Structure 1
């Protein structure tokens, strides 16, 4: 077990040593960007995933999430943010060139959708693993409704290098092994969860939504209306992260444990084996029909909603918890980012540099184990900021004491600036400090936040979310047509598509079990 005896100041000072200075530039990032396909009038595209883009089951770069219409673009781990952004731009360009007149929706909250039945569930082929994916999504539809599932986000994957971990473990006088690395990653995760409210404040960009999103649903929020059918909350930052978006009331009683790897794995496993009376109304067998994979609180681990996850690359049909248990944490996935509507790629370079500072800070800072009150406090703070993060004088709670968002943020940014200097030094640039200053501008003036800028544009012109979204969708598609491929050529994309289809066919041909037996065996492992 790792030892956590050094203070933040001691750890920060140590990062000036040569072994850290040479390893810090090797931090790696990858992006998973979700985007809805829409038709030229702004409605949800109900066409199937274009065959020219390949097979979603087996494509490493271009796939779908919940719906055929909800695309997901994945970049590999890279050190340079510019490289990742260029790869992402290449993916966007190729997709734009193969979806005809359709566009990509540039924001998190969905476009105008008539009925939930018009949201086509993603299809992955005829294999057992493909059917499992489809049944899982049917379960999500039955449990939460499809509308919630077509909210888009950006996932930011982040990892330290082997050389960094060697230096870090040497500093703490512990062995550089999987257990200790995982323990330190969980230190980072707990601090991130405590400070997760800062992410929607800085990057939330969904203060408004289309009225169709709430059709037939009860909600507790005092929405105001603008345009023909847009609802908004004056101080909201990220309705995507609110009770309207990624929530699961059944999960609130799960008590997922973030104190160490073993506790986390055990609590997640317990969740996928905890029966839910609420979900038992949906069938989950061959005889009655597959309306979900099972009637437990979580069908599978992917259903767990969290602003951050520990990750390990899973092998074929390996459960995420099994991968973590056998090989430890290899990277973390930040899931609290709205799609940035002011970026053609859904994320910009400044976000990379600031998130590097923020996540390194979360590792450097002392990280007490979570108690239930501390965990509840972190959730309450996040809930408050997504709904009214820009409200003047908004109060949060820190270690049981009230503190204003403004004061807490200002304290944090004093230390962020120190971390940024270390990263600047290691990378021989000033980009980290510049990124921190840009984000601090949002603390000093909430009008600089993306949520405020988005809402002020809507209010100034009395236009709907959909109107502005469609304008940007057209602008971004037009812009992409004038770009050149920088990392992945068109021929490479076409080869990837061809190979992914061939791989999907091989998976289908390799099936030897009925679907019922396949599912039984999967959960018996």
Structure 2
């Protein structure tokens, strides 16, 4: 059933614009050597300075590279940016070095000290050192993919013009839509973990004690017990409760800072949350995806299409009643932890998964979406019916002696060889490590595409 906003979007033939979000991608990857150990090579010299290059930087570890694409007006262009920057990074790696294709890191050294931490800005360095007072180095090593989504201005304006009795401004519309999407993605985060989780085991030296799962799981990275970051969930009832809950957590020292409480969905606007409270949300960042080893860039276009479909569904369907948000999302977080720690050949919530995907199928039919959306729904239905088709289900068959090193090294080497054969890799980082989005656009699209 469409909400009033959803019916307005449908009646004004704005479904396509609502589904085609402005998008940015961020993909973290650990650098490794061909023995499957964490790389000891420095940040590649030919891609500039790791503290100033906006498109290729490092994250928590010096050996953890992060690719950040410029915002693109559609998903296809965002993926083109990602492939190009990924190739630039790969062609800059040292001989024998690869990008580890899995979310859980390669074999880490037995002694994990501060020499592993990224060389970064003084502010970020201080945060990492403070973070390590509460966490182990291993906790900061897993990698993932972040997807940034923003709704097109045309859609915002259309909703505001037709619901001025409900919204005080266009920014008020943005806050409502982004919070509605955030609630929806957290509510069904467990399904995303099931469909795309790809971190069944950890390699040697990751765990420092016996507190570990004793069988392969769906997603170590997405579990509360073994996953990354703080064990804290903000209150997503509305923007004010989100900011207030984060500030309160810092005040009572549950969080070191609001930066630590990013959560599975991060509301983005001003970096100062109190300022964001005044200025509003500008986009959302989805942070619940493991790296997909079946793609050289860590994410498949089909995954992006499915996330876009979910986002459109949340915008156009009735939202959660405000008084029910906390209880609903708490239950969803518990479900996610169950799914994250289930065996890769299990599907604990199959009936619930089938029900939601059936709803998405009805939605696709009602908005008359194209065949590509029918295909992705069919693919997800098969993953629910056959858990062995999920990424972790497929990885299960590649585990040898409780390790994925052999598989990951071969895959990483194949992807590396493919990048080295690229006809025209982007090499301008060596002379200018701060190219603008416009510089990248001209290189990628020759000025002929509107991105």
TM > 0.5 between the two?
yes
* Distance in 1, Cα, partners of 2:359 & 2:239: 28
* Distance in 2, Cα, partners of 1:198 & 1:65: 27
1:407 to 351, 365, 370: 351
1:451 to 386, 392, 405: 392
- Verify: 1:75 aligned to 2:60, yes or no: no
Segments of 5+ residues of structure 1 without an aligned counterpart are 1-6, 125-129, 224-231, 276-296, 395-404, 501-525
- Give the 3 Å change call, closer, same or farther, for CA 60–424 of structure 1 in structure 2: farther
* Distance in 2, Cα, partners of 1:437 & 1:256: 34
What displacement does 1:374 show?
Answer: 2.8
Q: 1:379-404 CA distances to partner (integer Å, 9 max, x unpaired)?
A: 1101000011656562xxxxxxxxxx
Map of 1:185 onto structure 2 = 178
* Distance in 2, Cα, partners of 1:166 & 1:440: 35
Aligned residues: 429
Q: TM-score, normalised by structure 2?
A: 0.88
Q: Is the 8 A contact 1:32 1:154 kept in 2?
A: yes
- Give the 3 Å change call, closer, same or farther, for CA 244–21 of structure 1 in structure 2: closer
- Give the 3 Å change call, closer, same or farther, for CA 393–347 of structure 1 in structure 2: closer
1:122 to 112, 118, 122: 118
Cα RMSD for the two superposed structures: 2.4
Map of 1:112 onto structure 2 = 107
What displacement does 1:458 show?
Answer: 2.2
What displacement does 1:421 show?
Answer: 4.2
Larger Rg: 1
- Verify: 1:217 aligned to 2:217, yes or no: no
- Give the 3 Å change call, closer, same or farther, for CA 434–15 of structure 1 in structure 2: farther
What displacement does 1:258 show?
Answer: 0.9
Q: Is the 8 A contact 1:140 1:149 kept in 2?
A: no
Map of 1:464 onto structure 2 = 403
Q: Is the 8 A contact 1:424 1:433 kept in 2?
A: no
1:338 to 290, 310, 322: 290
1:376 to 319, 330, 336: 330
1:123 aligned counterpart, secondary structure: coil
Map of 2:414 onto structure 1 = 475
2:310 aligned counterpart, secondary structure: helix
1:29 aligned counterpart, secondary structure: strand
- Give the 3 Å change call, closer, same or farther, for CA 482–441 of structure 1 in structure 2: same
What displacement does 1:50 show?
Answer: 2.3
Q: TM-score, normalised by structure 1?
A: 0.76
Deviation larger for 159-168 or 114-123: 114-123
1:335 aligned counterpart, secondary structure: strand
Segments of 5+ residues of structure 2 without an aligned counterpart are 437-451
Q: Is the 8 A contact 1:201 1:389 kept in 2?
A: no
What displacement does 1:274 show?
Answer: 2.5
- Verify: 1:66 aligned to 2:60, yes or no: yes
1:213 aligned counterpart, secondary structure: coil
